[in-house]
Amino acid sequence: MLKTAGNRWVKIRMKTTKLTHINTKGEPSMVDISEKSSSRRVARARAVVEVGEEILQALQDQDLKTKKGPVFQTAIIAGVMGAKKTSELIPLCHPLGLDDCQIEIQVKGGAIEIIASCTVTGKTGVEMEALTAASVAALTVYDMCKAMSHTIVIKEIRLLEKTGGKKDFIYTQS
């Protein structure tokens, strides 16, 4: 049941889907990928960081320079490092030997947009690695710019696409 803005109760039917990280006993469980075959898998994720006009005015040569160093360059390195450590951060993720991880950062629409792309040839996808890369890069931007403003907002972290597994996914804005 859900209470709507008009204080009416509405019954909502949710489609039930089997959660892949829950075993038959209802306990957390790593997904068994031993029977899957390897394939090339790619995922892209995006993070959007609103830093405000004051910080954006500090842009020089397509990067922000702070006392801590170049923000975008540091965020790129941090994002790649985050992707490589995903299985250490997310409990039931399989450790993956990434084939590639690329981070692109640009100012777009008054905000900083981070796009993380990860590729692996393996038995499981790289969505979590791409999402982690984008997240860690966004957190690094926040950390390096917080001395200039505490009104920074990490507005969005989203999977943009994944290919190479059972189901491909491409985010389309509605």
CB proximity list for 46: less than 8 A, separation 6 or greater: 113, 114, 115, 116, 134, 156, 157, 158, 160
CB proximity list for 170: less than 8 A, separation 6 or greater: 160, 161
**Tokens at 48, concatenated:** 């959007």
Q: Give yes or no: 32 in active site.
A: no
For 47, phi and psi rounded to 5 degrees?
Answer: -125, 140
Q: Which of 32, 63, 99, 143 is catalytic?
A: 143
Burial 27-64 (b: 16+ CB within 10 A, else e): eeeeeeeeeeeeeebbbbbbbbbbbeeebeeeeeeebb
- List, by residue number, the catalytic residues: 143
